[in-house]
Each structure stands twice: as structure tokens, then as C-alpha cells.
Amino acid sequence: MYWHCFIWSSRRQLINISAPNATLHYFPSFLSQSQAYEFFETFQQSLQWRQDDIKVYGRQVKIPRLQAWYGDDELSYTYSGLTMKALPWTKALEAIKTQVEQATGYQFNACLANLYRDGNDTVGWHSDDEPELGEQPVIASVSLGAERDFQLKHKSLSEKLTISLKSGSLLTMSGETQNAWQHCLPRTKRVKSPRINLTFRRVFQ
């Protein structure tokens, strides 16, 4: 059973999502709809999107989405055997990073951008728990474009949670969330248009 606690800040509504061993904060209107639209257009056109192969059960397969990795000082990031070297921040990414830092009080030095071309693009169950993210990673996730369901499942309890991530929203996951939970973005026939997700992280090297 989950319940939502509504707190009104002077500028933005913050929803604390209550779940065991998780710290989840959701700002549904982090950006206005026109800001979200403008950022979506800018990022779709200007980020250096790539579709890599990763190894799944020993086989090379194409990642079912496009990705781009930006950050400080060519920070590298490895997952599922794929290492990406960070590209330098663009002006628009820096602008949104500053807004995210002001809203959350955390500092970030890297951003993994995902472009889901339509509802066929997806990310499977995983935790953002790579050692270089530290013991209690703070992940700040901005959604732009099509609204998609984001699912979480507890690693040892039979608890599941679905959050519909709307365009212009910000979701933060911190505390024990990455240690205790996995998350995914399931495939859906319902969604025909693209979505961009920016996940700001702090990488320790």
C-alpha cells in the first residue's frame, strides 16, 4: 500500500512517494509545458545520439533506445560491458542541470540521456548501482515528450510501484532506492511518439 504526501513549495509541487527502503520525490511540473517542449526539440536535434550494442547472455544485441553520455572532464561510464566517454556539456544541458541542482540541493557531474523513439523503445529491469555512483546514488531524472510508465520493484519484498512520468517532470531516487529496488520503462503499444529522459548522476572516480 502506498500513499502520497503533498507538500507545496513556493514554486513547485513536490510529491513524496512513500515506499519501503526508498526515497522518491516527484515534481510533476518541474518545467512548464512550453519549456519542456523547447528542451525536447533542442535535445532531440542537438545531442549526439548513438545506438550501441551490449552483451546480453553472451550475445551482442542493439540497445532498444538511443543514448548519449555527457559530463565533466571526459568522465567514463561502464554498464553491461559498454564504456562511454562523456561529451562536454552543451549549453542547454548545463541550463537544465542548474535547475535540477537548485530544485534538489544535490550537485551532479554527469548525465545519461535516453531517447525512446516510440513505445517499442524500452529499458529493462536494473538498478543504477554501479560502484562509481557510490553507496547511495542520487539519480535525478527529467522527462520530456511522451508520457511513459516507470516501474519499480523491490528486490526482496513483493512490492511494485508504477509512476506515470509526465513531460516536464523531475523524479529523484536517493537513499537506499538503488540498493533495494530495480526499475524499468516497459514497452507499450499505446505510445507512438518519442520521449527523452535525462538522468543526472554524480560519478566518483
Ligand X SMILES: O=C(O)CCC(=O)C(=O)O
List interacting residues with ligand X (CB under 6 A): 112, 114, 123, 128, 141, 150, 165, 183, 185, 197, 199
Cβ 90 to ligand X, closest distance in Å? 18
Nearer to ligand X among residue 1 and residue 62 (C-beta): 62
CB of residue 8 to ligand X, shortest distance in Å: 25
* Minimum distance, C-beta of residue 105 to ligand X, in the bound complex (Å): 21
| Closest distance of CB 181 from ligand X, Å | 11
Q: Are 24 and 16 in contact (CB under 8 A)?
A: yes
Nearer to ligand X, 8 or 83 (CB): 83
For ligand X, the closer of residues 10 and 153 by Cβ is 153
In the complex, what is the shortest distance from the CB of residue 156 to ligand X, in angstroms, rounded to a whole number?
Answer: 20
Give the span between the Cα atoms of 114 and 148, in whole angstroms.
13
Q: Which is nearer to ligand X, 11 or 135 (CB)?
A: 135
- Output 147 or 159, the one with its CB closest to ligand X: 147
Closest residue (Cβ) to ligand X? 197
Please state the closest distance from residue 165 (CB atom) to ligand X, in A: 6
Q: In this structure, is the dihedral angle defined by the CA atoms of residues 173, 177, 179 and 184, taken in order, positive or negative?
A: negative
138: Cα within 13 Å, side-chain hemisphere: 12
Q: Identify which of residues 79 and 204 has a Cβ nearer to ligand X in the complex.
A: 79
Residue matched to cell numbers 510501484:
161
CA distances from 199 to 59, 110, 113, 142, 156 (A): 27, 8, 6, 6, 25
Contact 189, 119 (CB under 8 A): yes
| Of residues 128, 117, 131, 123, the one with CA closest to residue 200 | 128
- Collect all residues with Cβ–Cβ distance below 8 Å to 124 and sequence separation of at least 6: 184
